[in-house]
Structure 1
Amino acid sequence: MSLNNLISNIEKKLSNLLSSYQNLNDKNLKLEDENKKLTSKIEDNSQIINSLNDKIKIMSISKSVDVSNNDIKQTKLKINEYIREIDKCIAQLNN
């Protein structure tokens, strides 16, 4: 092979390598973007799950009230307990 042929072959291979690099780089950028979107979705879903867990907690507390209990003092204590629990939930949502 002549020197010109060798140089031509090297140029072709280099061109192919550069093209492959650009394609892989484009794919990498797309995958990084998709990763960011999915990470954001996961964070949003985690917040929704935490909010729903807090609602479940509040519902379980509200079911623990004895409806037939006529003692006003006990009822006020239960209401205060609910308010504290709600305040905790709000604080968690703000974080």
Structure 2
Amino acid sequence: MQEYENNPIFGHSIHSRMDQEILKSSLNGLERKILVLLNEHKGLKNQLKTLQGENQDLRQSILLRDDQLSNFKNQVKITKIVDHIHPEDSEVSELKRKVDEYIKEIDKCIAYLSK
């Protein structure tokens, strides 16, 4: 500690062993606080990274759900069209059958995407 005696950075000289011990204790306390802050910073960085990953996953999930909702809306529109077709005509009946098959295929695709 002799290099600190009469050092202008400290603004005074260190005269006693007691002053040196107080300074040493203060420095040790600061070091502990710095280590605590560094550990907390590291933990917060890890937490941020985890939350950013979860956020990205949730955004993807929202996009998938939006697509599913759009498909369901299309399915409802198709169903309404099919319900308004008059079944007397054989071509219309064939069209209705094909639309029903199309709806079943859409349902299979949605079920697959939901997995």
Please indicate, yes or no, whether the TM-score normalized by the shorter chain is above 0.5: yes
| Per-residue CA distance 1:26-69 (angstroms, 9 max, x = gap) | 0111011001001101101110110111011011111101223x
RMSD (Å), alpha carbons: 1.8
Structure with the higher helix share, 1 or 2: 1
1:32 and 2:78 aligned: no
Whole-Å Cα distance in 2 between the matches of residues 23 and 67 of structure 1? Answer: 67
Identity %: 19
Find the counterpart in structure 2 of residue 92 from structure 1. none
Amino acid at match of 2:31: E
Match of 2:33 in 1: 13
Q: Partner of 2:87: helix, strand, or coil?
A: coil
Q: 1:35 corresponds to which letter in structure 2?
A: N
**Could you tell me how far apart the structure 2 residues matched to 1:67 and 1:26 are?**
63
- Structure 1: tracts of 5 or more residues without a match: 80-95
The TM-score normalised by the length of structure 1 is: 0.69
The ranges of structure 1 where at least 4 consecutive aligned residues each deviate by more than 6 angstroms after the TM superposition are none
Taking structure 2 as the reference length, the TM-score comes to 0.58
In the aligned structure 1, how far is the partner of 2:67 from the partner of 2:85? Answer: 28
Highest Rg: 1 or 2? Answer: 2
The count of aligned residue pairs is 72
> RCO greater where, 1 or 2, for CA within 8 Å and sep 6 or more?
1
